[in-house]
Structure 1
Amino acid sequence: MTKRGRLLPRTGRARLLAAALALVVVAAGLAVAGAFDSTGTRLTAYFDRAVGIYAGSDLRILGVRAGEVTSVHPQGTQVRVELALDEGVKVPEGARAVIVAPSIVADRFVQLTPAYRDGPALADGAVLPASGNRTPVEIDQLYASVTDLSKALGPDGANSAGALSDLLRTGAANLDGNGAAIGDSVQEFGKAAKTLNGSSDNLFTTLSRLQTFTTMLKDKDTDVRTAQERLDTVVGFFADNKDDLTGALKELGTALAQVKQFIADNRGELKKNVDKLVPITQTL
């Protein structure tokens, strides 16, 4: 057999192997595409920043995984985060997206809130604007805030003339020996808060009725002012005629005393006369 004859079978096997590899690659591509092709709702959420959020990060509802982040892209001064919900998962209209940082080292995730109960749901392709979404406070922001506070209260700030030091010394002197009293006050305040919490329905009902009453007064403002003016007139009349009113009341007291004495002295005769009036009254 010639050299060319020996190469032909090898060439055929190479072609078959290449075709088989191509089929494997195509099948793998289809499998991967199918794995990432979600039939669930897709949403777009905008954030002021999205530190620690990447493609593949969890999308959760009430802490339970309900999808994933598919892409994260900066867009102007905001960050656009594409979300894919699992099939069958619904989110109510008006929902918000929140980036949650469980701890400093734990992976962050996007959480949708509130959970769906009933009513209209977000449609596929809905957009959650940054104005309603929330991001966690970063540790460097917290440190910066503490630094700013310490500077504001330090010798170059509020304590430049020793005012803060004087305040602390005065406060310490006033609170010295009053720890038990302060503790009792805090406990009583806690009890009062617990009582109010247990009576929240009654409290809100009372406030609602008070609002209704104040609204009625507002609507009847003219009538209320008129009644107040008339009451002022009556009070003024009594004030201007105080002496006459006092004399009249004294005379009325004397007359009532005389009537009482007359009734006591003539009780028997009055009873007879009343008894005689009974038949006449019944006849009438």
Structure 2
Amino acid sequence: MRARVVAIAMAVALLVTGGTWWAVAVAARTSVTAYFGATVGLFPGSDVRVLGMRVGSVTEVVPEGTEVRVEMRIDDGTPIPAEAKAVAVAPSLVSDRYVQFTPVHEGGPELADGAVIPRERTATPLELDEINRNTDRTMRMLGPDGANRDGALSDFLDVQAANLGGHGAQLNDMLRQLGKATSTLSGSKEDLFATVDDLQLFNRTLADNDQQVHRFNSQLADTAGFLASERGELGAALRELGPALSDTAGFIRDNRAVLRTNVDHLRAVTQVLVEQRAALEEVTDLAPLGLSNLANTYDASAGVTRTRGNINELTHPPIVIVCKLLRQSPPDRPVPPVLADACNRIEPVVTGAIPLPSPAEALSSLEHGNAPDIPLPLVDAMRDTGSPYPGGGR
């Protein structure tokens, strides 16, 4: 009797333990509902998979109007993306199907318990009957009641057979080369995608600058129209261009030495222009103003030119100005000995160590009957070189 009670107690304990385990296992699984357009080959107990691995099973398949509701349970610890899609997969034409979730969860929100996947996020494979119907429809469209009503399809096949006949080796080689090209593209997919991205950027740039592109096309059309209207003259010019180029080549060949000499001289001139660029820029800036001022000095009513002299510009005698210019010239440039000697003697005047009287001081001295106070080195240099300069000291 006692052994019987123990056996019953153990059986009850096993039932309670099994029930508890089953309840916990069921509670730990995630329930998901998905709506499909058709569920041929999908039954309760069918697998639910991710990347081909079983992660749950179908618990119920219920038709509802034009849709089929499929209830599924997913094992605990299997994350499914919240926006996942459910696809009914048929491994073969006659085997049972299973539900595949895609894509794989790589982070982010997960599919919650009780989630519903709408029809827009489910897919089913084509059925054999549908494939047969589509094939039959295609054959009818190509048959005597369709595209081949007048024998056009037969003629097309005959022409292609005549064109391809005897070219099997070439077609085989072409397909092999096409396979190699495909392999090359597959190995260079990064470059190919980069090219596609660049083309997309180029197209976006064209779209953003549609008005400029339209204007460019219009101008290009105008240019093409102008060239078309002047094609006679353009053709004549091109015909004359050949003999002209031939004459030019002959001239260069016959005068090669002279041209080389001229180019060398031109290089020297160009070097001078480069060295005097600042002076040329100053002349370019001031020449228009100077010419304008010169035009304004003419008095048309009196027929004379009216100017106002700037006596301060006559501070330095010509010999001093010449010596200052020589100081700015390259040291290897030859200078006449007489001029070099004169510049050496008046070097204190040229450098400003001995100042010259201003024009106002010279005029004031002359008004009082006195000679301007001119430095003796300058007087001696002007006497030797014959430079005229009014004043005393002589």
The Cα RMSD (Å) is 4.5
Separation (CA, whole Å) in 1 of partners of 2:24 and 2:45: 13
Separation (CA, whole Å) in 2 of partners of 1:81 and 1:267: 92
Give the alignment partner of residue 78 of structure 1, picking from 60, 67, 72.
Answer: 67
1:115 aligns to 2:164 (yes or no)? no
Aligned to 1:143: 132
Aligned to 2:142: 153
Higher Cα Rg: structure 1 or 2? 2
Contact between 1:96 and 1:133, CA under 8 Å: does it hold in 2? yes
Give the alignment partner of residue 203 of structure 1, picking from 178, 187, 192.
Answer: 192
Aligned to 1:173: 162
Separation (CA, whole Å) in 2 of partners of 1:108 and 1:44: 17
Aligned to 2:51: 62
- TM-score of the aligned structures, taking structure 2 as reference length: 0.53
Aligned to 2:202: 213
Question: CA 1:113 to 1:282, structure 2 compared with 1: closer, same or farther past 3 Å?
Answer: farther
**SS at 2:329's partner residue?**
helix
Is 125-134 or 60-69 further displaced after alignment? 125-134
Separation (CA, whole Å) in 2 of partners of 1:96 and 1:128: 7
Offset, 1:126? 1.6
Separation (CA, whole Å) in 2 of partners of 1:176 and 1:37: 68
In structure 2, stretches of 5+ residues that fail to align are 276-327, 333-394
Separation (CA, whole Å) in 2 of partners of 1:232 and 1:164: 46
Correspondence list, 1:199-278, <5 A:
199-224=188-213, 229=219
Is 221-230 or 114-123 further displaced after alignment? 221-230
In structure 1, stretches of 5+ residues that fail to align are 1-15
Separation (CA, whole Å) in 2 of partners of 1:177 and 1:136: 41
- Deviation track 1:57-111 (CA, whole Å, cap 9, x = no partner) reads 1100111000111111111210010111100101112211111111123221111
Aligned to 2:314: none
Offset, 1:128? 1.1
Separation (CA, whole Å) in 2 of partners of 1:27 and 1:72: 31
- Deviation track 1:184-222 (CA, whole Å, cap 9, x = no partner) reads 111111111111121111121122123223322333344
Q: Which one has more relative contact order, counting CA pairs under 8 Å at least 6 apart?
A: 1
Question: What letter matches 1:198 in structure 2?
Answer: G
**SS at 1:37's partner residue?**
helix
- Identical aligned residues as a percent: 40
Separation (CA, whole Å) in 2 of partners of 1:69 and 1:94: 19
Question: CA 1:134 to 1:261, structure 2 compared with 1: closer, same or farther past 3 Å?
Answer: same
Contact between 1:44 and 1:128, CA under 8 Å: does it hold in 2? yes
Contact between 2:41 and 2:95, CA under 8 Å: does it hold in 1? no
1:193 aligns to 2:182 (yes or no)? yes
